[in-house]
Amino acid sequence: MKASPRPNVRRPNVTARPPVLATILFALLTGCDAVPWSGSDDSREKSGLEADQQFLFEVDYQNYAWGFMWRGFYVDADGGVWQYGDSVSTDRTAQKDAYTQEELVEKYSTQRERIGTVDEDELREMAGLIPTAAGGRLTEPVGRCADFGVITFHAFEYDADEGLYHPVLLYQVGDMARENTSESARRLTAFLIELGEYETSTCLP
pLDDT of 94: 80
Residue 117 lies in a domain: yes
Angle CA 151–157–163, to nearest 5: 120
pLDDT of 151: 95
Which residue, 107, 79, 109, is CA-closest to 92? Answer: 107
Residues 6+ apart with CB under 8 A from 95: 152, 167
Residue 25 lies in a domain: no
Tell me how far the alpha carbon of residue 160 is from its chain's centroid.
20
pLDDT of 48: 66
pLDDT of 202: 86
Residue 2 lies in a domain: no
E strand segments, the chain: 2-3, 55-63, 69-76, 80-86, 99-100, 113-117, 142-143, 145-146, 150-159, 164-174, 176-179
pLDDT of 16: 36
Q: What is the mean pLDDT of each run of 10 residues along the chain (205 residues)?
A: 44 37 28 38 59 94 88 96 84 86 93 93 97 98 94 97 97 96 97 82 89
Residue 69, amino acid:
M
Give Cα separations from 167 to 19, 29, 170, 176 (angstroms): 32, 31, 9, 18
Residue 22 lies in a domain: no
Count of domains forming the chain: 1
How far is residue 71's CA from residue 199's CA, in Å, rounded to a whole number? 14
Q: Which domain holds residue 145?
A: 45-196
Residue 203 lies in a domain: no
How far is residue 189's CA from residue 205's CA, in Å, rounded to a whole number? 13
Residue 110 lies in a domain: yes
Which residue, 24, 50, 26, 28, is CA-closest to 37? Answer: 50
Q: What is the pTM of this model?
A: 0.78
Residue 21 lies in a domain: no
pLDDT of 57: 98
Residue 176 lies in a domain: yes
Q: Calculate the dihedral angle through the C-alpha atoms of 78, 130, 198, 79, rounding to the nearest 10 degrees.
A: -10
Give Cα separations from 105 to 33, 77, 91, 99, 142 (angstroms): 9, 13, 14, 10, 31
pLDDT of 45: 55
